[in-house]
A and B are shown apart, each in its own frame.
Chain A
Amino acid sequence: MSIDKDKIKHISKLARISIDSKKSDSLAKDLTSIFKFIEQLNELNTDKVEPLSSILNTPLRSREDQINDGKIRDKILENSPKKNEEFFVVPKVIE
């Protein structure tokens, strides 16, 4: 898989990262070599192999649906880059 500038544009849009067009050539080159490296996996026939998504043999635990914290609004707002009283502030979304 060769990665070109257009593909970089597409992926960076999906990832919500703006990429400087000056950097996109070297990035395309790096990603092409990385994909060449990971495509070694195509040497293996894995048709009959079950995918492994968790290393643990047991299913994930569930818990009672109970409120166990709360009253931490101010703590949550503590690190926000921009806030107004008890709200996070973002650029205008609706005209």
Chain B
Amino acid sequence: MSEIVKKNLSEIIDLIKKKEIKSEELANLYIDKVNKSKKLNSYITTCFEHAIQKSKEFDKKPNLNSLLPGVPLAVKDLFCTNGFKTTAGSKMLENFIPQYESTVTENLWKEGAILLGKLNCDEYAMGSSNETSYFGNVVNPIAKDTVPGGSSGGSASALAADLTPATIGTDTGGSIRQPASFTGTVGLKPTYGLCSRWGIVAFASSLDQAGPMTKSVKDCSIMLEAMAGFDKKDSTSIEKKKENYSKNLKTDIKGLKIGIPKEYRVDNMPKEIDELWNKGKSILKDLGADIIDISLPHTKYALPTYYIVAPAEASSNLARYDGVKYGYRSSKGNDLIEMYENTRSEGFGDEVKRRILIGTYVLSSGYYDAYYLKAQKVRQLIKKDFDENFGKVDAILTPSTPSSAFKIGEKTNDPISMYLNDIFTVPVNLAGLPAISVPAGLDKKGYPLGLQLIGKTLDEQNILNVAYAFEKNCNFKNEIKNWWL
């Protein structure tokens, strides 16, 4: 097996720029490994013919000044790709072929990247283990009986297994950062509004953000630079100039103030995670940062708030799947209403139905104030916690997840224990802030664990810099043994 696929995105870009490898050769190397890696189930759709054709076109007339020159990339199957099936991991969209392209993927192709395939994910991005996908669960390449996390589990698995040099996911409550942590990779959720939501299958519109998943912090800065940007087609897109995250990346973090929130030291947290957190603090301290204890008092209410806000928005967004204009339609039912009810019953999986029902209930007449309005008020308090502390600190350091990757099937019968996976990631979505998960160590089983850096609104450059400095001094090494080949 070629060693080239193991390389980081930035190294691959260098090889192309130095003309040491052609785009077509590169595409073929990844195609070869994807074909041998079906056991992981990380791809739903492959676009190999398209990738070869595009890479040939690139090699004929290479534009080496773009950010991702001739680089084949697979993306989460939640991004609409013109002419290529986009399933959102659901039976409902099993045969849906978008007639348009999402803004974020369009941005990647404009920078020279080439679509290689569509990656598995939890159904409509609802899940923390990639076990709710209609197309089957995904395996974490670190060990054959473990989940890759979710909902961007196919993205994390494919990246860690060298089936794509970098990828993109979406993060509504931790769906980029948790799988990144579980697979020893880097994942960044940008500030709400930095990356366009246009053409992404919607889950919870006030929380959804697309972001990069990569093998290194530098790669992450390159991908973010390519994806981000104002888009008039997204009404919540932030109007601002493009930033050169990769060029401005630096390791000097002297004098930066890093907050440590005491509320993230939760009950029953494994000792290893606490130790890892301490390791993170001492690395940043040695690099000249000031470590400051802070309090985010409403942290424990973030998850209950999320499980009102996200299902409420999801129930509204998913009302469009009625079997009329696109997607699955049931053949059963005597009238229009029965056709709707059977279509939605047969087309959605259990977790999606559960969340639609929660959302419908909290928005229903008589319950709106008690649940939805209450959650919006607590969301305000959670945001305020962050606002107040960002006067005192420049970034916040926490664990990314309360455990390492768990076993396939371990939590599927207990929704609450599954939801608790996102305890450290959800507050950031509610507050609209940027956060990055960066690999920090391995637990006793040899499974990776990540630390999370949370930044101020639009302060992506700062958390990338801290993560970059941390990465250089942490000596993390992923131990993936290609057991599935």
Spell out A's residues near B (CB within 8 Å): 3, 7-8, 11-12, 14-20, 27, 30-31, 33-35, 37-42, 44, 46, 49-56, 60-61, 63, 72, 75-76, 78-82, 88, 90-93
For B371, what are the chain A residues with a Cβ–Cβ distance below 8 Å? Answer: 38
Q: How far, in Å, is B436 (CB) from chain A's closest CB? A: 18
B277-310 contacts to A (CB < 8 Å): 298, 300-301, 303-305, 307-308
For B193, the chain A residues whose CB sits under 8 A away are: 55-56
Q: Is there a chain A Cβ closer than 8 Å to B8's Cβ?
A: no
CB distance from A38 to the nearest CB of B (A): 4
User: Residue among B100, B373, B377 with the most chain A CB within 10 A?
Assistant: B377
Give complex CA distance A90, B343 in Å. 12
Whether the Cβ atoms of A41 and B304 lie closer than 8 Å is yes
Across the interface, which residues of A come within 8 angstroms of B406, CB to CB? none
What chain A residues lie within 8 Å of B301 (beta carbons)?
Answer: 40-41, 44
Give CA–CA (A18, B330) in the complex, Å: 12
Given A34-B415, A91-B336, A91-B339, A17:B348 Cβ within 8 A: yes
Size of chain B's interface in residues, with CB distance under 8 A? Answer: 67
Contact B324–A31 (Cβ < 8 Å)? no
Say what secondary structure dominates the interface of chain A.
Answer: loop
Task: Tell whether A88 pairs with B325 under 8 Å between CB atoms, given A8-B357, A19-B345, A60-B235.
Answer: yes
20 pairs, A vs B, C-beta closer than 8 Å: A8-B357, A19-B353, A30-B354, A31-B357, A34-B415, A37-B416, A38-B371, A41-B301, A44-B301, A46-B381, A49-B377, A49-B380, A52-B379, A54-B236, A55-B432, A76-B99, A79-B96, A81-B323, A91-B336, A93-B335
A93 engages B336 (CB within 8 Å):
yes
Which residue on chain B has the smallest CB distance to residue A82? B329
Known: A54-B206, A75-B99, A93-B336. A80 touches B232 (CB 8 A): no
CA distance A93 to B329 in the complex (A): 16
Contact A41 B375 (CB under 8 A): yes
Q: Which residues of A contact B361 (CB under 8 A)?
A: 3, 7, 11, 31
B337 touches which of A16, A33, A51, A56 (Cβ 8 Å): A16
Among B99, B300, B360, B415, contact of A11 (Cβ-Cβ < 8 Å): B360
For window 389-419 of chain B, which residues contact chain A by CB distance below 8 Å?
415-416, 419
Known: A11-B360, A79-B327, A91-B334. Is A37-B379 also a contact (CB below 8 A)? Answer: no
**Could you tell me the distance between the alpha carbons of A46 and B96 in the complex, rounded to whole angstroms?**
44
Contact A44 B381 (CB under 8 A): yes
Which 8 residue pairs across A and B have the least CB separation, nearest first? A55-B432, A51-B376, A79-B326, A81-B329, A46-B377, A52-B380, A18-B341, A75-B99
Asked whether, in the complex, the Cβ of B373 is within 8 Å of the Cβ of A51, the reply is: yes
| Residue in A78, A81, A90 whose Cβ sees the most chain B Cβ within 10 Å | A81
Tell me which residues across on chain B come within 8 A of A16, comparing CB atoms. 319, 322, 337, 340-341, 344
User: Other CB < 8 Å A-B pairs besides A16-B337, A34-B354, A78-B97, 9 of them?
Assistant: A8-B357, A16-B319, A17-B348, A20-B345, A37-B419, A49-B381, A56-B192, A76-B99, A81-B329
Does B5 lie at the interface of the complex (its beta carbon under 8 Å from any beta carbon of A)?
A: no
Bound form: Cα–Cα A56–B227 in Å: 20
For the complex formed, measure the closest distance between the CB of A70 and the CB atoms of chain B, giving whole angstroms: 14
Nearest CB in chain B: distance from A78 CB, A: 6
Partner pick for B235 among A11, A31, A61, A93, CB 8 A cutoff: A61
Q: How far is the CA of A51 from the CA of B368 in the complex (A)?
A: 13
A90 touches B326 (CB 8 A): no
Chain B residue numbers with a CB within 8 Å of A46 are 374, 377-378, 381
User: From residue B329, how far is it (CB to closest CB) to chain A in Å?
Assistant: 4
What per-residue 1/0 map shows which CB atoms of B338-364 lie under 8 Å from chain A?
Answer: 111110110010000110111011001
Establish whether residues B358 and A60, one from each chain, have CB atoms under 8 Å apart when the complex forms: no
How far apart are B246's CB and chain A's nearest CB, in angstroms?
26
Query: Would you call B447 an interface residue if the criterion is a C-beta within 8 Å of the partner chain's C-beta atoms?
Result: no
